[in-house]
Amino acid sequence: MLGVFLDRDSLDCGDLDFSRLNRILPELHYYPATALDEVAARIAEAEVVISNKVMLNATTLRQARRLKLICIAATGINNVDLDVAAQGNVTVCNCRGYGTSAVVQHVFALLLSLMTRLPDYRQIVREGHWQQARQFCLLDFPIRELAGKTLGIVGYGELGRNVARVAEAFGMQVRVARRPGAVEEQEGRTPLPILLPQVDVLSLHCPLTPETQGLIGAWELALMRRDAILINTARGGLVDEALLADALRQGALGGAGVDVLSLEPPVDGNPLLALDIPNLIVTPHSAWGSRESRQRLIEQLAENIQGWREGVPMRVVK
């Protein structure tokens, strides 16, 4: 059974063990990366295709006559035309929950850095200000504690729940937003317009859908407290990036930690990459990327293929 892995370098830094995957699918061919115009030729004879972010669109899928299984090396499935896959009786599986610990850790790395102004204090030490100080310490930037603050969470799946658990350990109060687009009442959930003025920190953990595209725009930013902090480790399209940059410059928001942008990599630039934005930390979609997280992903790919071969496919999307 021929298999192809289209973009191994998107998750492997030379530190992962692929032995189980290779045992289950001995004829698995690895490509470091695959351009869009290379996809059709590379999957033409494959029965199993593994892709992280390579697009599997209608045109290429219709040319893959032998294709039976697509394994997405991620949770998001927007790079696969699911309707065409279903028409061709192609099973599509994804991976789930592999990066929870890493992402939660990253959320609080961003939040703690912003609340303690860690990058700013590191910079003034590098510039020699502490060495020239008249007293033993520098307190040039306001430091705030998490204890007693209110955290608002949008997206209360596995990630949201685990972020809430850690927040409570810090002594924070947690409030959960009603699911975007939901019209029915949800017990224990607060409509976003009511939630936003109440929170000191807002953390986004929902998928990017038509209902959540541009979820945090001008109106929502205006509702937030001037010292509130926004954390986005979900999807860049959830936030109007130009308006967020302006809000930070104008002091209308206390800070932001962002691990995702609307276009990745940001080959054409991005408003949040400007160097004059205060109290902003941008990381390169690395929240999920611990070695342990990436190894769990490989193990889930192996489980998905083995389950499918045995007639009990796992984590089926469609």
Tens of pLDDT, residue by residue over 88-141, are: 999 999 999 999 999 999 999 999 999 999 999 999 999 999 999 999 999 999
Judged against a pLDDT cut of 70, whether residue 183 lies above it is answered with no
Q: Look-up: residue for tokens 């030729």? A: 41
CATH number at residue 61: 3.40.50.720
Looking at the structure, do residues 216 and 153 belong to the same domain, yes or no?
Answer: yes
Give the pLDDT score at 76.
86
How would you list the strands of the sheet with 280-282, edge to edge? 189-190, 173-177, 150-154, 201-204, 229-232, 255-258, 280-282
Same domain for 65 and 171, yes or no, is: no
Could you give the 3-state DSSP secondary structure of residue 213?
coil
d(Cα 205, Cα 227) in Å, to the nearest integer? Answer: 21
Whether 73 and 157 share a structural domain: no
The lowest-confidence range among 77-81, 149-153, 161-165, 222-226 is: 77-81
Per-residue pLDDT for 186 more than 80? Answer: no
Q: What is the pTM of this model?
A: 0.92
158 and 303 within one domain: no
Do residues 202 and 226 make contact, with C-beta atoms less than 8 angstroms apart? no
CA distance 180 to 48: 35
Alpha-carbon dihedral 58, 286, 267, 8, rounded to 10 degrees: -50
pLDDT mean over 213-233? 97
Domain co-membership, 104 together with 200:
yes
Average pLDDT of 230-236? 97
161 and 24, same domain (yes or no): no
Domain assignment present for 232:
yes
Residue 254 lies inside a defined structural domain of this protein: yes
**Domain extent for 40:** 3-98+291-309
Positions marked active-site = 235, 264, 285
Mean of pLDDT values over 242-260: 98
Mean residue pLDDT of the chain comes to: 95
Expressed in angstroms, the distance from the first to the final Cα of the chain is 22
Residues 166 and 197 in one domain: yes
Residue 272 structure tokens: 């949040």
**Do 61 and 198 fall within a single domain?**
no
Same domain assignment for residues 111 and 212: yes
CB-neighbour burial class of residue 209 (10 A; exposed 0-12, middle 13-18, buried 19+): middle
Q: Is residue 108 situated within a structural domain?
A: yes
Query: If you search the block for the tokens 């830094």, which residue do you land on?
Result: 13
- 151 lies in the same domain as 190: yes
138-171 pLDDT per residue, tens? 999 999 999 999 999 999 999 999 999 999 999 9
Examine the domain organization and report whether 172 and 249 are in the same domain: yes
Whether 318 is in a domain gets the answer no
Average pLDDT value for residue range 175-190: 82
pLDDT digits (tens, 9 = 90+) for 264-309: 999 999 999 999 999 999 999 999 999 999 999 999 999 999 999 9
CB-count burial class (<10 Å; 0-12, 13-18, 19+) for 103:
buried
pLDDT at 42 over 70: yes
Query: Does residue 161 lie within any of the structural domains?
Result: yes
| CA–CA distance, 48 with 67 (Å, rounded to integer) | 6
316 lies in some domain: no
> Does residue 230 share a domain with residue 86?
no
User: Is 294 in contact with 11 (CB distance < 8 Å)?
Assistant: yes
**Helix-then-strand count for the chain, H and E:** 11, 12
- Which pLDDT does position 23 carry in this prediction? 96
Inside any domain, residue 243: yes
| Of 83, 82, 90, the residue nearest 64 (C-alpha) | 90
Give dist(CA 39, CA 127) in Å, integer.
Answer: 49
What total of structural domains would you count in the chain?
A: 2
Span 43-74, pLDDT tens digits: 999 999 999 999 999 999 999 999 999 999 99
User: What pLDDT, on the 0 to 100 scale, is given for residue 1?
Assistant: 86
Mean pLDDT on 250-261: 98
Distance, in Å, from the CA atom of 175 to the CA atom of 202, rounded to the nearest integer, reads: 10
226 within some domain: yes
